[in-house]
Amino acid sequence: MTDKARVVDYQGVLDYIAEAVRPQFGKGRVADYIPALADVDARKFGMAVRLVDGTLYTVGDGLERFSVQSISKLFVLELAMQHFGDMVWTRVGKEPSGDRFNSMMRLEHERGIPRNPFINPGALATLDLVMGLKGDTRHRLRNYLRFLAVDETVDSNATVARSELDHAHTNRALAHLMKAYGNIDNDVEDLMETYCFQCAMEMNCAELATAALPLAGGGYSSLHDTAVISKNQARRINSVMLTCGMYDSVGSFAYRVGLPAKSGVGGGILAVAPGRMTICVWSPELDAFGNSYVGTAALELFTSMTGVSVF
Ligand code: GLU
């Protein structure tokens, strides 16, 4: 049934969810392997829904910016696909990993070609491609996110980026291993600095929901008034999100929520309902897989209450 045929009170649904998830606080843990992330208030909760016609609904801390972390991998993949097309898939696969987001083991088995662009080695390979383009990659990333969010103040948090860079031993090791296999062109330290800048971008739920709107609109977004990516690219990115976007709990997330989504260790989850809307939720406490504990519960409630799902 379309949204026109069935009028859903999305604001009412969000208000209900914000209350209903309260008992879930305290069950997850805020990420602390990046020390600057550990300072965030664990009880924050925000959510935003952006319909393809541009209508926005928010609740709680939906307008407060947080560290997007791995959600940025989605937008770097978009940039890579815009500039390199299917060549991207010679550098990175499109299969779920079944391992932790920064696991080294499989990378060695698969000779430096990461399983998908949403685990850390895959994101590093994708970023390495984008860094091959002319011009300053950090400006390119920031400008792209400002354009997508329709907000010129979107920026990276230098303290968070520094903190991650100081503790990025596993990511550095992944990058060096890939370089040894010939799958990284840039200097590893340049790559790490750019990657930490990318992960430390700060956006709020409403901005992230806006930024993903082209993925819900077959590449087109009513807010940007243009086709940001091609229809084909939107379909393919949504498919990779559905199978790889939630690390090694992607199966249970698909079972519980039923939408393509990308999470980040800052506690954000950005989901796409193709043809209908984007939904972003933020709650910093994470489950054992590195996905927002309360955020997953909130999305499960949202899709159960509204019937918005790809299945
Ligand atoms: N910056 C984080 C890292 O590389 C991103 C991980 C995530 O958000 O899942 O460890």
Whether 166 shows a pLDDT value over 90: the answer reads yes
Q: Which of 10, 57, 195, 293 is catalytic?
A: 195
Q: What pLDDT digit, counting tens, does each position of 79-117 carry?
A: 999 999 999 999 999 999 877 777 788 888 889 999 999
Delineate the domains of the chain, giving CATH numbers in brackets: 3-306 (3.40.710.10)
CA–centroid distance for 61 within its chain: 18
Candidate from 249, 265, 270 with most ligand 1 atoms within 8 A of CB, to mutate: 265
CB-ligand 1 contact for 120 (6 Å cutoff):
yes
| Torsion 97-215-277-121 (CA) sign | positive
pTM of the predicted protein model: 0.96
Distance (angstroms) between ligand 1 centre and the Cα of 24 equals 23
Residue 247 annotated to the active site: yes
Candidate from 199, 208, 262, 282 with most ligand 1 atoms within 8 A of CB, to mutate: 199
Residue 16 annotated to the active site: no
Q: Which of 10, 144, 220, 247 is catalytic?
A: 247
The per-residue pLDDT for 6 is 63
Which run of H or of E encompasses 192?
helix 188-199
To which residue do tokens 């243009």 refer? Answer: 226
From CA 184, how far away is CA 194, in angstroms rounded?
14
CA–centroid distance for 16 within its chain: 25
The per-residue pLDDT for 1 is 47
pLDDT band (50, 70, 90) for residue 311: confident
Residue 265 annotated to the active site: yes
Q: Which of 10, 57, 70, 163 is catalytic?
A: 70
From CA 201, how far away is CA 155, in angstroms rounded?
6
Q: Is 184 exposed, middle or buried (0-12, 13-18, 19+ CB in 10 A)?
A: buried
Q: What pLDDT digit, counting tens, does each position of 184-221 carry?
A: 999 999 999 999 999 999 999 999 999 999 999 999 99
Q: What pLDDT digit, counting tens, does each position of 217-252 carry?
A: 999 999 998 899 999 999 999 999 999 999 888 999
Q: Which of 59, 68, 73, 103 is catalytic?
A: 73
Candidate from 71, 164, 172, 291 with most ligand 1 atoms within 8 A of CB, to mutate: 164
Ligand 1, atom 6, residue with closest C-alpha = 70
- What is the pairing mode between strands 261-263 and 226-227? unpaired
Residue 37 in contact with residue 44, Cβ under 8 Å? no
CB-ligand 1 contact for 156 (6 Å cutoff):
no
CB-ligand 1 contact for 78 (6 Å cutoff):
no
CB-ligand 1 contact for 292 (6 Å cutoff):
no
Distance (angstroms) between ligand 1 centre and the Cα of 283 equals 16
**HSE of 4, CA atoms in CB hemisphere, 13 A:** 3
Which of ligand 1's atoms lies nearest the C-alpha of 123?
Answer: 4
Q: What pLDDT digit, counting tens, does each position of 29-47 carry?
A: 999 888 989 999 999 999 9
